[in-house]
Amino acid sequence: MSYRTSTYVTLALLLILAVAYGWQALSFQDMRNRNAVGPGYFPIILSVALAVLCVIAAVQARARADRRIDIPNRGLILATLGASGAFLLAWAKLGGFYAATFVFALALFGLYTPDRRARTLLSRVALAGVVTLFVYLLFGLLIQVRF
C-alpha cells in the first residue's frame, strides 16, 4: 500500500468520526438558550478541530513524496480484527460480557502464542482468567459499570 493512499483512507475515517461526533454533540445543545455554553460546546470544538486537522494533514500528505509501506503480519492483524468483531457481536447478541471477554482473551493468546503444548494451553487459560478477573474487579466492582 502506498503512503499517500493509506494516509487518505485514515484521514477519511477520522473525518467521518469527526462528523459523527459533532452531529451527536449537536443534540447536547440546550435549545432554550443557544448563546450559552452548554454540554455540547466542548465536543463540537473537538470535532471541528479534528476535521480541520484532517484537512491540513491531507494537504501535507499531498505535498510529500509517495512511497510504499509494507505491513508485516497482515494475517495476524486481520485475524485480530475478526476476533474483535466476533467479540463485539457475541457481546451484543448473546450478552455475558465477562464470558465473551474470557473467550476473546483466550483466542488472542492462542493466536499470538503458536506453541500448542498442554502446559502452554493451561497457562493461556489461566492468563485469560486473570485478565477477565482484572476487568471484572476494575469495571464491575471498582468503577461499577454494568455491562
In the chain, which residue ranges form alpha helices assigned H by DSSP?
3-26, 41-63, 74-94, 97-112, 118-135
Instruction: Please state the rounded mean pLDDT for residues 79-103.
Output: 94
Q: Check whether 146 has a pLDDT greater than 70.
A: yes
User: Three-class SS of residue 117?
Assistant: coil
pLDDT for the residue numbered 34: 64
Q: Does 69 fall in a domain?
A: no
DSSP helix/strand/coil, 143: coil
pLDDT at 15 > cutoff 90: yes
Written as nine digits, the cell of 102 is: 474470557
Q: Which residues form the domain of 128?
A: 74-142
Count of domains in the chain?
2
pTM of the model: 0.65
Is the pLDDT at 25 greater than 90? The verdict is no
51 and 20 within one domain: yes
Residues 33-57: what's their mean pLDDT? 85
**CA-to-CA distance for 74 and 81, rounded, in angstroms?**
11
Query: Is 19 among the domain residues?
Result: yes
